[in-house]
Structures are given as C-alpha cells and as structure tokens.
Structure 1
C-alpha cells in the first residue's frame, strides 16, 4: 500500500508552525495526516478499539452476570445470548441509518466521532451496571458505535484508496478487527484475574482516549485537497473507470432505476439544445439502499456475510461456557482459547493482496470451504484431556484462518459491487455515491448474523448439544460456498 514518504510527510509542519490560528493556514503535517497509510491505520485502530472492547467483555460476562447482577447459573447461557443479540440488533437498526447520513454528509469525520462517544457511553455504563437491563442498554450503545465505525470507516477507506489497493487496506482493517476480537477476550480475562474488575474498564477508557486523538488528527483527503494536490490519483481512477464503462457492453437498463443511461443523457442534452426537455422526475425517487438490494452480487455477499457473522458470534457465545464446563477453565483459560482464532489475522494483509490479485469471490469461496472440515471435527472435542485441548486449538486456528479469508474478501466484494453498478448506470446513487449505504447493508447482514449466531448456537447447544451445533454451522458454510460458485458466472472478480 503506497503513501507519501515519511521524509516529506511533515514538511508543512515547520513551514506553518506559527500560523495555526489563521483559518487559511495549511494544517500542520497535512500530507501525513491525509495520507492513505495514516487514514487506513486510523480506521483500523478505530475498528480495533471497538471490537477489542466488545471482545474484552466476553470472558468476564459469566462472572459479571453472577456476581454483579445475581443471575443464577442455569440462566447464564440465556442472558449471554441476549446481551450478544442486543449488540447485533443495535448494529442492524443503526447501520442503514448511519450509512444514509454518511453518504449525504459532506464529511465522514463527524459521524466517525459520534460513534466514539457512543462507545465511551457504553463502556462507562457497563462498568458501573448493577442490573441486567443496564447491561443490555450498554450493549445497545456499543452496537450503535460499531455500526458507525464499520459503515463510515469502510466508506472512508474506499474514498481514500485506489481501487487496486482496497484489498490491501481492507486486509489491515480485517487484521485489526480479528486482533481486537480475539485479543480482547484474552486480555480481558487476564486483567480480570490479575488486576480486578475495575482495571479492565480503566484499560478500555485509556484506549478510547487514544482513539479520540487519532480521529481528531486525521484529515480526509477530499478536505486536504483545499491545500495540497491529492486529487491526481482520484482523477486517474475516474478516467480509468470511465474508459472501462465505455468499452463495456451495456448489460443493464438504467431507466428501470429511474436513472438515465449515458445514451439517454446525451439525448436529453440534445433535446435541451433544441428547446425540448425530457425530465426524469423519478431519478432521485428510489433510495440508494433499495437500488443496492437489486444487485444479485450484493445479495450474495450479504448472505455470505450473515453466515460468517453467525459462525464467529457463535464462538463468542458458546465457546466460553463450553470450555469452562469441559476443561474447568477460569476466565484466563477461556481467554487463552481465543488465541488460535487470533493468530491467522496476521495474514490478513497478505490475504488482502491476494484478493486484489486473484479476486474476492474466489478467496471467499476458499474460506467457506475450509471452515467445513474445521467445524465438523470440533465434534470430537468432548473430554477433559490434553489431546482434546490440542485438537480444539488446532481446529480453532483453521477456523480463524478461514474467517480471515472470508472477512477480507467480503469487505472488498461489497465495494466492487457498488462500483460495478455505478459503471453500468452513472449517477444511480446520486452525486455522493452509495458506498456508505452499501457498507450499511454489510453491517445489517453482519449484525443479523450476530443476532442469529448466539440465539441459534446457544439454543442448539441447550437442545441437542455441542456436536449437532458445530455440524449445523458446517452445513451452512458448505451451502454458502456452493452459492458463491453458482452465482459467480459473469462476475469478474
């Protein structure tokens, strides 16, 4: 991933050190603060912070529910599933709303900061909660924060990167997500065991402060264009996109979306030149999010995303209680179980480059196929033996690698689907585009999986047991792999 060199990134620092109070002055270190690398890492750290705090709570939930809000042992699974479902439900409701306003807003940074305030509020509320209803409300606020980070943050990545670099950037973001999700439970369990309950949340607040500073320092590249020339690459990308669109065969009637095709636009322009007007009042009448859902590619990505989120959130909900009952593990031991899921995330940048080179659809298919045997073999982990623990760690590693393949490729595929639709019908999403709304739908699918995952997996464990639960997840992953292959015809990725 390219970015401005570090030697020249801050040359405006000394040049304008004393002009900060002048509203026309160039902001300090503007080239660095608006660089592709810095913006990508700010988004990645925002994602890390959000999912770290989400994951940090996972291993301490059983103890919090028992010791702070007095939930009986036989109701722990139910309330853990409800709390995780509340988080997913907030994402489900908030994502399309935040996506719409992010696409309509002149800046991505303002909603990005709003999400941070929601995260701070949820963390403080969870810290001092003494009732189960307060815990549920805290998880809802945390879900809203996640909705903002993923909707606005992913759109910001697409805005900043060239189309051939989106995969590499998403690889960094995916790595941050996986590291945060898995390191969160690990660190949360250790800190709780060694330093106590309050130390866990003091650590979370410190991380939020760092995130605040980074989000305030970041400058969007379109804002930086007032002072430096960052538009040349964007112009090249637009020119390349226009060339591809002109040489591509017309495969879609844009009039069905209330948007003029290039041909009809020329006709309309000619009509205006001769005094004839052909208004299209329905051009803006169809919401962008509805147009997005008319794309088969996007629908397939959303289905695959829902399945991936179901699988991932099932581990969050079921694994802590299962390893506690099977291996008699304490919170620290439960946290250690998540390490094998975490290690493959370090390959996310390599996976992102592979997605850019080989195509997102192919890599996603590989991830779902790989998950099938990993999930099926989890059936054999049933006894408190060293052998079963080793098998568990190996299979969690394989599943973690499959998750990295799926997550990076699906995050890239959604942006490609939007780009493809805009090529066929320029202006279909209006002047501001539909990227944030597309990632809003992505979040809706992800949150749907986070709601269904804990409820379905928790219900299956209570009803038919661990073996049938992991077998069900394996079957669903296999079916999703088939769907990806069956709908790949004509997809150039």
Structure 2
C-alpha cells in the first residue's frame, strides 16, 4: 500500500509540476501559431485546385480566410474567457479547445467546398482563442507573481518559433512531397498536444495518498487566496466594469491593439515595397520576415526578466519610442528624396537595420499585456479575496487581450494597405510611427501620477505599486 501510494504520488508530481504545465502551454501556443502560418503558403493551391475558384478570386478569398480567424476571435474571446473561469478547472476548456482545433483542421484539409473550408476556419479561430486565453491563465496560475514576466517571455519564444517555422515547413513540404503528406505534420503535432493536455494535472486535482492526512494534503494544494476566499467576499458580477475602468488594463489593451496592427502591416506591404524599391524577390522577402521574427527567440526571456525586476513601464515606453523611430526609418530607406537614405547601398542597409531593430524591440512591447493584466487581477483579488469567483478572473481578463490582439491583426493590413494605396509607403510608416508614442503616453502619465501621489501622500493606497 505504501509503495502504491508513493508511486501514485510520484506519478502525480511530474504531471502537476510547474515545468510540465508550462511545457504543455508552450506546445499549445506553438501549435496554434504554427497552424495559422502553416496554411498561408497552401492557400493558393487549396483555393484553386481543391475549391475550384478562379485565379482572380484567390487574393480576395485569401484575405477573407485570414481575416475570418481574427474576427471569430474578437467576438468569441470574451465568451470563452467567461466560461473558462466558470469551469471547475482549466483542463476541461483546454481539451475542448484542442478538440475544436482537430475538427477544424480536418475540415480545412479535406474541404472541397467553400462552406466546409470556412466552417473549418471558424473552428480553428475559436479553438485558437481558447488555447491562448486558457493557456495564459493556466501558466499564470502555475507560477509565482514575481515570475509572470519571465514566464511569458519564455512562452513568447515558442510563439515566435511557431511563427517562423509554420510557413517555412508547409511551403517546403508541399513542393517536395505533395498535399496530403504536408498535412501529416500538423497531425503529428496535434497528437503530441493531445497527449500533453490529457496528462496535465492542475493543483485542485491532486489525489490524496493517505486517509489520515487527507485534510492537510487538500489544504496544502490550494493557493492561499483560494483557501481564504470562502466567506470573505462574494463573486463580483462587475468584472468587466472593474477591468475596463482600470487605467493599467486600458493601456495594456491599447498596446495590445497597436503592436499587432503594425506587425501585420508588414505582411500586407513589405513584399511589394521591397520588390518595387530594391528589386528583391521572394527569397529576400522571406529573409526580411526571418530577421523580423528571429530576435524574439533571443530577447523574449530577457524582456520578461526585466519586467519582473523593474516593471513593465520603463522597458515598454523606451521600446515603443525607439520603434517609432525605426518604423519611420523604414519609410526613409530607399526614398530618393533623401540622399542619406536612398542612394546606392544605403537604402537596403538602412532597411535591413531597421527591420532587425524592430524585431529586437518587439519582445519588450508584446509581453506587456499578460503581465499588466495578471497584476491587476492579483491586486483586485488581494484587496477583495474571491471577488472574481473561485477560479479567479484570469481567463476573462486574458480574453480582453485576445480581443485586442486579434483586432490589431485584423485592422493592420487594412490600414497599412489603404495608406500605401492612397499615399505611399513613406507616409504609411510615418503615420503608423506616430501611433507608438500615443500608445506609450498613458503608461508614462500613470507612472508620473503615481510618483506625484506617493510623494505627497495622497490616496497612495488606492494605486497598485507595480
């Protein structure tokens, strides 16, 4: 009996360990981004050869397919967050999201009609939102408050890896091995994801191994906040009002919109611009996206560590300001109206330098949302334990971030494309660069206000210190 109990306890320990939980979330986020990019190189073949659409319709249906993923997330995110917080644990919605992803992927792969294809894209969009919302909430619950920034930074490494490898893998295998063999890659990844999500055990699921210590074991498994919730505060029905009236939340959501807006603007404008200005072909276009994404693999953990050590505001404000400068320089590069930027090899060199710098700075901005939102929820829970219910409010607050990010991903190509078509690339980058200081201004103002109140001693208890 003792041996059996020890084995069960050891079996539970690795399944509920922080590192296994975080690894499972990392795999889920990697696969979600991988699948989003995996489809892009295959879309022309699928639309023309399998759905039998004319070549003149390919661009329009490609844009609709990509935009649909974001639109579904915008409307479905809050609902997913609401029901995930009401679920007995995060494992159930995590598995439901995986099931939706599997069904949606099969529908997209096997589709021979437009209806089935877009039905699969809708399911992929919903399940993708679920993976992001529940995954981030699960990761946040698994670590200490002072480790959230570093944790999110590490998770962003896997996100950037999925962003890089998805289109590269599908484009190469499609040419080398054919359509159906290409789909074997996501099938294998989804099987790995399914195994990990089935094995994961959250703290409330810990089994007791000895009847005599059942009560003590149960109490040791529950977070201190959850043990103190009962009888202290009734769950609040004003979650959305509390969050949306908080300046830190609104600032994080504003950055959550504009970061992806500018990021996805590259997808819509970079290939045509560098072809027209520098004469670069597909290989160099791919290299530009590679240089834009790879720095995130290296600098995301550093950015997360800095957020844990000194907070989010200073690194994010500095990064936003520098991004504004280098985004404007992208427009100057190759512009013959400026001798210092457009003549000879200076234009291409300046463009590459600006792209690499944007990639380096992006992790210091992209991870602000999860850290700031998690900090606000923890601060509210600390003041009123149980205010957001027994499961807390992480899924709901992360659903707000999912809405912001997908909104940015949806409007980015539209705004940048319209600006380039109406004016030119230079004015497009200049206009978008102005949005970065606007995004960082609320962070600076809130920080100055806190310093003023702290110095004069007025109402200092009402503003969170982080």
Q: Is 1:402 aligned to 2:361, yes or no?
A: yes
Distance 1:98 1:129, change over 3 A: same
Bigger shift: 43-52 or 86-95?
Answer: 86-95
Question: How far off its partner does 1:435 sit?
Answer: 1.2
The one of 341, 349, 374 aligned to 2:301: 349
Question: How far off its partner does 1:411 sit?
Answer: 1.4
1:432 match: secondary structure: coil
Q: Is the 8 A contact 1:91 1:147 kept in 2?
A: yes
Taking the aligned partners of 1:464 and 1:76, their CA distance within structure 2 comes to 25
Partner of 1:254: none
Partner of 1:359: 311
Distance 1:61 1:205, change over 3 A: same
1:29 match: secondary structure: helix
Taking the aligned partners of 2:427 and 2:121, their CA distance within structure 1 comes to 29
Taking the aligned partners of 1:449 and 1:402, their CA distance within structure 2 comes to 18
The one of 108, 111, 117 aligned to 2:93: 111
Taking the aligned partners of 1:221 and 1:369, their CA distance within structure 2 comes to 41
1:426 match: secondary structure: coil
Distance 1:234 1:158, change over 3 A: farther
Q: Is 1:448 aligned to 2:383, yes or no?
A: no
Partner of 2:465: 492
Q: Which runs of 5+ in 1 are unaligned?
A: 1-11, 243-259, 266-282
The one of 358, 365, 370 aligned to 2:322: 370
Q: Is the 8 A contact 1:376 1:474 kept in 2?
A: yes
Partner of 1:437: 396
Q: After superposition, where does 1:152-191 map in structure 2 within 5 Å?
A: 152-191=134-173
Question: How far off its partner does 1:98 sit?
Answer: 1.2
Question: How far off its partner does 1:400 sit?
Answer: 1.9
Partner of 1:315: 266
1:353 match: secondary structure: helix
Q: After superposition, where does 1:263-412 map in structure 2 within 5 Å?
A: 286-320=237-271, 322=273, 327=279, 329-330=281-282, 334-346=285-297, 347-380=299-332, 390-412=349-371
Question: How far off its partner does 1:403 sit?
Answer: 1.9
Taking the aligned partners of 1:134 and 1:315, their CA distance within structure 2 comes to 30
Taking the aligned partners of 1:138 and 1:328, their CA distance within structure 2 comes to 35
Taking the aligned partners of 2:421 and 2:305, their CA distance within structure 1 comes to 41
Question: How far off its partner does 1:56 sit?
Answer: 1.9
Distance 1:392 1:193, change over 3 A: farther
Q: TM-score, length-normalised on structure 2? A: 0.82
Question: How far off its partner does 1:72 sit?
Answer: 6.0
Q: Is 1:93 aligned to 2:75, yes or no?
A: yes
Partner of 1:427: 386
Bigger shift: 398-407 or 361-370?
Answer: 361-370
Partner of 1:5: none
Q: Which runs of 5+ in 2 are unaligned?
A: 211-216, 336-341, 451-463
Question: How far off its partner does 1:285 sit?
Answer: 6.8
Taking the aligned partners of 2:240 and 2:116, their CA distance within structure 1 comes to 33
Q: After superposition, where does 1:215-254 map in structure 2 within 5 Å?
A: 215-224=197-206, 226=208
Taking the aligned partners of 1:289 and 1:96, their CA distance within structure 2 comes to 10
Taking the aligned partners of 2:359 and 2:173, their CA distance within structure 1 comes to 24
Q: Is the 8 A contact 1:59 1:334 kept in 2?
A: no
Structure with greater proportional helix content: 2
Superimposed CA distance per residue, residues 373-416 of structure 1 (whole angstroms, 9 cap, x where no aligned partner) = 22212224559998655544433322222221112222111100
Q: Is the 8 A contact 1:118 1:145 kept in 2?
A: yes
Bigger shift: 357-366 or 378-387?
Answer: 378-387
Q: Is the 8 A contact 1:318 1:458 kept in 2?
A: yes
Partner of 2:38: 56
Partner of 2:376: 417
Superimposed CA distance per residue, residues 397-445 of structure 1 (whole angstroms, 9 cap, x where no aligned partner) = 2222222111222211110011122233333223332111101111111
Q: Is the 8 A contact 2:94 2:130 kept in 1?
A: yes
Distance 1:364 1:199, change over 3 A: farther
Q: Is the 8 A contact 1:99 1:437 kept in 2?
A: yes
The one of 209, 218, 236 aligned to 2:191: 209
Taking the aligned partners of 2:350 and 2:42, their CA distance within structure 1 comes to 25
Q: Is the 8 A contact 2:94 2:135 kept in 1?
A: yes
Partner of 2:26: 44
Taking the aligned partners of 2:51 and 2:18, their CA distance within structure 1 comes to 46
Distance 1:167 1:409, change over 3 A: same
Question: How far off its partner does 1:295 sit?
Answer: 1.6
Q: Is 1:466 aligned to 2:422, yes or no?
A: no
Distance 1:428 1:60, change over 3 A: same
Taking the aligned partners of 2:166 and 2:436, their CA distance within structure 1 comes to 26
Q: After superposition, where does 1:64-83 map in structure 2 within 5 Å?
A: 64-65=46-47, 68-69=50-51, 77-83=59-65
